[in-house]
Chain A
């Protein structure tokens, strides 16, 4: 009896294994057949990063597109930010990037340099991608080496997110285009009266140093640090050091900001000693911060303090849509891309989830449909920043991710008192240049 049981068990296992192998291999051959044509349908692959909301809305829009043009079907993949970039790199290594990919300002230059993205200029000029409603400033954002390598999927700008409720209670108003001096005065008052600290330098989100660099003409435009010597960076680290010593700036020894909005000490904590009253992040994050904030707390959005706001403020593409260089069905991909940029019915679904739409016509048509936070962002972008800003400048050159990581580590060292501002500035200057040199 036992023997029979064991034999049948063994046979079942063997059967399962064979079935699995067949399914597995069969799966792959099915996919390769699908990628070209299937009864006259072309399949386009698209990938993006995002959360549940973005995934759902984008998928809905892609299905809507297939209804308008039944000869094109779009297969989508989506992941969260970190996984997305690991996967894209790996796919790029095998020359199998999806036809349409979501791109970020910090990666686009690298991908272009390594010939992974398609120059869209011919399609823009022929009108296949209609950019008539997108301003030149925005189109220039994805211009690298005289080629257009992406279309902005949304517009955003760095902003200072602050706890308006706390400031209201103290009778302080945060005005737009605040200078650093004015800001420090406010920060000191808030700290003395409530214990909340500010986060204006410790970058969990990587935007803070941009503002400071632009104000002091130290923006990185090529593979080299623009300063002539390290002393030009000392002031930055000194600002951090004095802020922590005087108490009004968040001290990394006690609390740190988090990349995850829900765990940011701006909205999460049990007492002012462990919380901050302001932080710097991209404007599209307002909805996320506001929903994560405790009941009764209202958040405000204004420009990031700097000595020269018109120089430091800038608009940027929150993300781009790009077409990969190994795309085989470019005309079809272009059609999808055009739809994603210009279709009003698409944006009734997408709304401002990726930022304010690049097409001014679309942006206007959806504004009444947006929620309160998103409308605040629209106001911020159009009426505050756009009125008083300078151009974005070239995309981060290859090597910038390592240089940014270096900067973060040096900020930490200064914050913990391990380095003096001068030491940090020296190391940033020497190491930063060395990193860029290796990438020449």
Chain B
């Protein structure tokens, strides 16, 4: 037996190794996240107009948010609608297209790029201009609807019922990023399992529901959690395409928060909004994690 130094033995314990490997995040969190996050939490209990120092006011911001602010509720509602409508649809499209483009042929590489392209141009002003153009009363979307025989006169961006859908459709259009993650995960499913299933005489439908889907559940869970978090924090599209109009139906929570901080110089109020959102998302994520054991396949 080789004599091992105490330090070596210590470092090679499972618990120590775990901490050593987590060090980058521990350092990063302490060096770059904890101070700004702590400051923002402090600001949430203050009146802070950014241009002059913050003054402590206790729970005033939180109370005002819940009792005195209709815009707060409007933006919460708009964001909820956005998340509930766009997240499931995004995931469904992402999975379907990932399945369709699974085979790595020359053409699929090109196809994957086409379906991924929309998610690259994410928050650029160019997309905002484009989207407004497309959904204008005389825009492409209406033209398409007309050619299929539907009424093509909808003022998408002005109608309080349809405006949010322009943003939802934008989010769904950008499903490429989720598709990429599904692609990568699908590739990890052992082909031997499929071969065994073929021997047993399974058709492609049961292959999908019995093998693919169950093995994909961890990735579906991952995508679900990430998309929900991103959905609640959605910002740029609302800011540059609709600016929250008409009548706050497209006012995303983060945009409202940003307006309060930088538009009205109420950064303390906005910080309170931020932390409320954090608690909300945290709560939803916690529930999701609790449901994990019911439907997510764990490989142990």
Contacts and interface: CB of A to CB of B under 8 A. Distances in A.
Given A270-B138, A416-B160, A255 B155 contact: yes
B63 interface: no
B123 interface: no
Given A110-B265, A401-B264, A418-B247, A253 B159 contact: yes
A116 B51 contact: yes
Nearest to B74: A409
Given A256-B245, A412-B246, A274 B138 contact: yes
Secondary structure of the B contact surface, majority rule: loop
Interface residue tally of chain B, by bracket?
20 to 34
B142 to A, nearest CB: 11
A114 B138 contact: no
A115 B49 CA distance: 12
A110 B264 CA distance: 10
Interface string A251-267: 01111100000010000
Contact of A263 (B51, B132, B263): B132
Contacts, number: 67
Contacts of A86: 262
A269 B138 CA distance: 8
B262 A85 contact: yes
A263 B138 contact: no
Nearest to B52: A114
A92 interface: yes
Contacts of A398: 49, 265
B158 A254 contact: yes
A426 to B, nearest CB: 15
Select the residue from B138, B264, B266 with max chain A CB neighbours within 10 A: B264
Contacts of A388: none
A399 B265 CA distance: 8
Given A274-B137, A398-B49, 13 more contacts: A89-B265, A93-B50, A110-B51, A252-B158, A253-B155, A253-B158, A253-B246, A254-B155, A263-B129, A401-B265, A402-B264, A405-B263, A418-B247
26 contacts: A85-B262, A89-B50, A90-B50, A93-B50, A110-B51, A111-B51, A114-B49, A253-B155, A253-B159, A254-B137, A254-B158, A255-B155, A255-B158, A256-B157, A271-B138, A273-B137, A398-B49, A399-B264, A401-B264, A401-B265, A402-B266, A405-B263, A405-B264, A412-B246, A416-B247, A418-B247
